[in-house]
Amino acid sequence: MTPRRPAPRPARRPARRRAALLAAALALSPLAAPAAVPEVATDIPPVHSLVAQVMDGLGSPGLLMDQGADAHDYQMRPSQARALAGADLLFWIGPEMTPWLARAVEGGSGGRAVALLAAPGTTLRDFAPGDGGAAGHAGDGEGDHDHHAGTDPHAWLDAGNAALWLELIAAELAAADPANAAAYAANAAAAKARIAAIDAELAARLAPAKDRPVVFHHAALGYFAARYGLTVAGSLAPGDAAAPGAARLSEIRAALAGVACIFPEAEQDAGLVAAVAEGTGARVGGALDPEGRALPPGPELYGDLLRALGQTIADCLAPA
């Protein structure tokens, strides 16, 4: 009698192969993939800096302007327009600051747009009558971005607003990327602490100069002046950068009686300020850069901007 052979065991390879394929499918599925950090666009260097601090270690926001460009009058390059269209989030001051971007936002370009100027709790100020200015306009040509009426959009120059916006930026990023919510919140808290230290430093540095009137080239420093109690006599706000005639110079100089310092602005005509200050007894300070045009974009820009403004103003107002 022929011995019975044992029945062959079922092959395990197909089962193993199915398990391997299932594991691979799960690994490639959206459920298993790590959460994607949102694509973020920003309008101006100070806002870019705040957002970069909140996104530190997770991603980098895009900046829709070239370094040194005028925020009020800009035309995006094709690559910047594509970056806006592909963004999940846009953080911007609002149409009051960048009207060229408002047209794109209204046209539906990009994802969710967060206008910081409209954020609840933001300290806002209107352009004061003197912002036009107490020193008079040296010119009213069409070249000037004349927005000296209504809400002053330069609200990032109030450190309190920046602190508030950091929280909003973190909340918006967390809503778009819940997996990294804790990291966004921690980054925002660290950035707020850094800004609070700079704010206290500037308050101490500028306190001795509170009663010494100043004139700014352009009405962009109202928030900064109000934050630190500076006395602003007005602004020159030239339009066409043409030097005023002798009669106009005399008129402007008369309005500058008692002014301690006159400040030119980066990218503007410093020669006009020197001509206006001549014979008035007012010092000419260093050029101010409220938009951070001359600074390298990045997380450090916002703090560097505040410190540079404070140092330049304090240097001019220091006793001779």
- 194-242 residue pLDDT tens: 999 999 999 999 999 999 999 998 789 999 999 999 999 988 764 334 4
Q: What is the structure's pLDDT at 257?
A: 84
- How far is residue 250's CA from residue 276's CA, in Å, rounded to a whole number? 8
Q: What is the structure's pLDDT at 23?
A: 44
Task: Look at strands 261-263 and 214-216 and give their pairing.
Answer: parallel
Q: Is the dihedral of CA 202, 207, 211, 212 positive or negative?
A: negative
> Helical H runs in 122-263?
159-176, 181-206, 222-227, 246-255
Q: What is the structure's pLDDT at 145?
A: 44
User: Strand order in 89-92's β-sheet?
Assistant: 62-63, 40-42, 89-92, 112-115
Kind plus residue range of the DSSP H or E element containing 286: none
Beta carbons of 288 and 266 less than 8 angstroms apart: yes
- Residue-wise pLDDT tens for the chain (320 aa)? 455 555 555 444 555 554 444 444 434 444 434 468 999 999 999 999 999 999 999 999 999 999 989 898 899 999 999 999 999 999 999 999 999 999 899 887 778 999 999 999 999 999 865 554 444 433 333 334 444 568 999 999 999 999 999 999 999 999 999 999 999 999 999 999 999 999 999 999 999 999 999 999 878 999 999 999 999 998 876 433 445 567 767 777 887 889 999 999 887 777 788 888 888 889 999 999 999 999 999 999 999 999 999 999 999 999 87
- 99-125 residue pLDDT tens: 999 989 988 777 899 999 999 999 999
Beta carbons of 88 and 112 less than 8 angstroms apart: yes
Taken in order of first residue, the domains within the chain and their CATH numbers are 40-317 (3.40.50.1980)
- How far is residue 274's CA from residue 252's CA, in Å, rounded to a whole number? 12
- pTM equals 0.82
Q: What is the structure's pLDDT at 317?
A: 95
Angle at 241 between CA 93 and CA 257, to 5 degrees: 90
Chain position carrying tokens 């490639």: 28
Q: What is the structure's pLDDT at 139?
A: 36
